[in-house]
Copies of this chain bind each other. A is one copy, B any other.
Amino acid sequence: MQVWALDGIAEVAAGDDLATIIGDALAADAEGVVDGDILVVTSKIVSKAEGRQLAASDREDAITAETVRVVAVRGTTRIVENRLGVVGAAAGVDASNTPEGTILLLPIDPDASARALCAALRERFGVRLGIVVSDTLGRAWRIGQTDIAIGAAGMRVVDDLRGETDAQGRPLVVTVPVVADEIASAGDLVKGKATGRPVAVVRGLSRYVTDEIDTPGARTLPRTGEHDMFRLGTDEAIGMGRQVGYADGFAAGRASRD
């Protein structure tokens, strides 16, 4: 597997045609384009092309607007589920690598953005390309961030090993490597955050690239709802339990005196 960042992508502005910009950078790249290449595109430039920029003074309101559910709050940190189903801080509203005084919302529909990019670039280069739209996300129980996939097209996002066997011939029953997230992380290692190189090319994983463009996208990766064992922060859940318990206890306490 080879992973490198594309040079020559200038600052992206609202209304820019991202497929042309990335296509031109690809066309100029010495490595060329090969069937099965996967492009990791930083969501920030997708957002910029979509005009998702707001004034920084609107940040708190923007986080609220992008939030479908508050998971936990501590101090000024809000862990929320955003429109895309992704649970993280600040709903993905971002203030780095944006012009001074502005913030950036996540793309409207990153899977759709990935499909559009995938279609345009496959058409232009005549080969099967996969697209990952990446974002930087914190994690429960681990410090810092890694890059993950919030959009994908033209590729499988998971390598479902259920049904396959390990080297001893036994079923790999519960293993579902989320290759789209791992590819986003690999891309981050070459793009960096401070270098202004927002697109990486990953070569050597053509086994995940599909003939179809419209594949199950990154929207299938969040796990929320009934399977989510961490739908609330611990303090929030204890507080909710206390309220219910208090009401039950109060009624029982009164009754105990009858």
Contacts and interface: CB of A to CB of B under 8 A. Distances in A.
A196 B186 CA distance: 22
- The interface size bin for chain A is 35 or more
Contacts of A232: 234, 237-238
B252 A246 contact: yes
Within the oligomer, what is the number of copies of this chain?
A: 2
Contacts of A81: 141
A188 B145 CA distance: 18
A99 interface: yes
Contact of A2 (B1, B98, B256): B1
Contacts of A148: 142
Nearest to A251: B253
Contacts of A256: 250, 253-254
Chain A residues touching B, majority SS: mixed
Contacts of A194: 161, 164-167, 172
Interface stretch (A20-28, A109-117, A122-130, A216-224): A216-224
Interface in A217-258: 220-224, 228-257
A30 interface: no
Nearest to A2: B2
A247 B229 CA distance: 26
Contacts of A234: 228-232, 234, 237
Nearest to A196: B167
B1 A189 contact: yes
Contact of A146 (B2, B182, B233, B236): B182
Nearest to A198: B167
Contact of A166 (B96, B237, B239, B244): B96
Given A168-B99, A230-B140, A242-B244, A182 B193 contact: no
26 contacts: A1-B4, A1-B189, A3-B3, A3-B186, A79-B229, A97-B167, A139-B139, A140-B229, A142-B148, A165-B194, A177-B193, A185-B185, A228-B234, A229-B234, A229-B235, A231-B234, A232-B234, A235-B237, A237-B237, A238-B244, A241-B245, A242-B245, A246-B249, A246-B252, A249-B252, A254-B256
